[in-house]
Each structure stands twice: as structure tokens, then as C-alpha cells.
Amino acid sequence: MSTSSTRATVQERELLEAARRGDEHAYTQLVEPHRRELHAHCYRMLGSVHDAEDALQEALLRAWRGLARFEGRSSLRSWLYTIATNTCLNAIERRPKRVLPIDYGPATDPHVAPGEPIVESVWLEPYPDAMLGLEGGLAAPEASYEQRESVELAFVAALQHLPATQRAVLLLREVLGYSAKEVAQTLNTTVASVNSALQRARTAIDERVPEQSQQATLRSLGEDGLREIVTRYVDAWERCDVEAFAAMLSEDATFAMPPLASWYQGRQAIATWAALGFYAWNAEDSRYRPFALNVLTLRGDQVSDVTAFIARSAEPRDREVFERYPDEPVDASKVGAVFESSGLPAWLDARPADSLDARSADSLDAKPAHS
């Protein structure tokens, strides 16, 4: 063992002893190195950044209260993952699963205006991995998914369709690289049950996720290729050029807009409907305010799916209100959770049209959201 590893182990042991004596500061130092990865794990389990934060806080509180029972037979990291996983399993029992509109109901007729929003607790949320510092590569040599692949929208959406235990088994085995024995201990079950659940989970996930992950697609495109696609996409929206936008779509593309349940399928249907932008003009403060964060899923150099996370409240109101959704007041909590956490501005100042295009494209291009 290296000198640095030995020093880290000694420091962890000292912090653990201090925390057991009631030192809250020592406990914070003890768990802080694991916070980001635990948060990402809770997000994969629950499909919501907000629910993940709640689950993580509850798990860390449980760990604090149960420190006396930690005997050190496993690593502190494994113990924390056990508590976080079981906290998420309890949360899943208490609430409906998170989904995208394409899993909620049939596609909408493109000639029909979007309907009313559905209560927001049913919708999957995007994960701002850049803000949370998620590293690239594998979490462990035995893992099958890269860490960034494991928070892609398509993968997390597929996870939500698995029974809770299968979801936990797949994540612990394939994302974190746990052995079947370690997973069995975490979930208080048998190795045979873990292996059976993993086989079923793999089959279900393979049926739902794209053949190529977004990370693999991004690598094949390269930075210049990705920049060119994002710039064309933003430019088409800002010029209201539906034909140029439609040309970027795959033939079977989908376009969804949570919290609206409406979604559209097929290049022609999307082109018939398309009428929304990223930022909407706010006359009260003479600025462009966030309207929707468009998360793109790419298939080669085409866009196969667009999920536009709308920064407006879904509180019940007259139906006519939602036909003028861009004119509704901005939901500040969504701007913070979706736009700002993805590195996008909370507003755009009014400027001449010739400079607006460039600035908007740069803002979205510099911090593309991973789908």
C-alpha cells in the first residue's frame, strides 16, 4: 500500500472515531469525499435530482445515527452505498416512478395544441453532471457502464421501468462494479437471486436503450462535429426555420416537453407542430427569460430525440393559459435546477438580432446537456 493510501486510511480511522464521539464536523469530513457519487447513485435509482438530494440527506442522517453499528468489516464507502440504496428503495415504494412523456401516453396529433401539464412528480429530470463533478471512465474495473453513460437520459429512463430491486442490482453490479456477493449483502438476499435479477434487468435495459450510448456517439462526432450540430440546431430555432430544424431530425425522431404530457413522433409531425424557442421575451424586465432546456439525443449526426424541460409552473390553471405557456412567469426553482445547474444563463439581455444568434449559440454550445 502506498504512503498516501496509508495516510488516507489512518485519517479516515481518526475521523471515524471522532464522529462516533459526536463530532459532527469530523463526520462531514468523513462522508464528503463520497457525496457526489452517492448523489449520482440516488439519481439513477430515482430519476430526479431533487428526490436524489432528499434521499441522500436521509441516508447520511441514517449513517450518522448508526455510526456505532459500523464495525468496519466493509469499507465506509460500501456501507454508505448500502444505506443510500436501501433509502432509495424505501422512497420508490412511496411514490410513482419517474418517466418521460413518451412513456406516459401515446403521441399527440401535431395539429393539436399541447395539453395541460401533469403533476411534476411523475417526470424524469436531467442530470447536471458537470455541476456535480462526475468523472469519466469506469467507477471500477468490473463495471460495464461508464459513469457518464450511467446518467444519460435514455439509460436512466430505462432504469425507471425496472422493478426496484432489479434496478438496484443492475446499478450496483454494472455501474459500481460490485461482486454478486457484495450486492447480496447490500440487499440482504442471496447470490442466486442477485444473478437472476441481473439477467432480467440486462434484458429489459437492452430493449430500451439505443444501440450506441451518447458518450460513444459524442466521441465519434468529436468536439467540432458536436459544435456544428448544436450551432445548426440553435440557429434553426432562432430563425424559426422549421425546414432546417426538421432536416436535422431522424425519420423516427420524438419531441417531448415535460411537464406537458404532449409529445410528437416522426420528422414530419414534429415539423408540423414546431413553434417553441429556448428563451422567451419577458416584457416586464425587457430580457429573454429561460423557457425550455432542450436535451438532445443523437444518432450519428442526426437528432433522434428532443426532450425540452420547460421552466414554467405546472400548477392547475385554465387550459387557455397553457396555449400561451411561453408568456407565463418563469419558475425560478426550475431555472436554478435546470438552466443554471447546466451552466446556462438565467436570462439574455436584449441585443440587436445579428448578435443575439451568436451569443445564444455560444451559451448552449459551450455547456451541452448530456442526454
**For residue 218, what pLDDT is reported?**
87
Least confident of 81-85, 113-117, 152-156, 357-361: 357-361
Asked if pLDDT for residue 105 goes beyond 50, the answer is yes
Least confident of 160-164, 259-263, 284-288: 284-288
**For residue 345, what pLDDT is reported?**
64
**For residue 316, what pLDDT is reported?**
53
Asked if pLDDT for residue 277 goes beyond 80, the answer is no
Q: What is the mean pLDDT of residues 144-158?
A: 84
Asked if pLDDT for residue 326 goes beyond 90, the answer is no
The strand pairing partners of 305, in sequence order, are 254, 297
Q: What is the mean pLDDT of residues 10-33?
A: 91
Nearest alpha-carbon partner for 203 in 232, 162, 171? 162
**For residue 93, what pLDDT is reported?**
94
C-alpha cell at 75: 469499507
Task: Give dist(CA 335, CA 206) in Å, integer.
Answer: 33
**For residue 203, what pLDDT is reported?**
97
Q: What is the mean pLDDT of residues 144-169?
A: 90
The DSSP-derived string for 131-147 is: HHT--SSBSSTT-SSBT
Question: In which band, very low, low, confident or very high, does the pLDDT at 361 lie, cut at 50, 70 and 90?
Answer: very low
Question: In which band, very low, low, confident or very high, does the pLDDT at 3 lie, cut at 50, 70 and 90?
Answer: very low
Taking a C-beta distance cutoff of 8 angstroms, is the pair 307, 260 a contact? no
**For residue 5, what pLDDT is reported?**
45
Q: What is the mean pLDDT of residues 303-325?
A: 68
Task: Give dist(CA 52, CA 162) in Å, integer.
Answer: 18
Task: Report which of residues 301 and 115 the model is more confident about.
Answer: 301
Strand 287-290 and strand 279-282: the pairing is: antiparallel
Asked if pLDDT for residue 48 goes beyond 80, the answer is yes
User: What digits encode the pLDDT tens for the residues 173-214?
Assistant: 999 999 999 999 999 999 999 999 999 999 999 999 988 888
The strand pairing partners of 256, in sequence order, are 263, 307
Give the range with max mean pLDDT: 14-18, 179-183, 290-294.
179-183
Nearest alpha-carbon partner for 370 in 52, 127, 39? 127
**For residue 311, what pLDDT is reported?**
72
The DSSP-derived string for 147-201 is: TTGGG-HHHHHHHTTS-HHHHHHHIIIIIS---HHHHHHHHTS-HHHHHHHHHHH
**For residue 73, what pLDDT is reported?**
82
pTM beyond 0.85, yes or no: no
In angstroms, what is the C-alpha Rg of the chain?
22
Task: Give dist(CA 188, CA 183) in Å, integer.
Answer: 8
Least confident of 53-67, 126-140, 321-335: 321-335
Find the length of the chain. 371
Task: Give dist(CA 270, CA 273) in Å, integer.
Answer: 5
Quickly count: other Cβ atoms within 10 Å of residue 269's Cβ.
20
* Inter-helix orientation angle 180-187/76-94, to 10°: 60
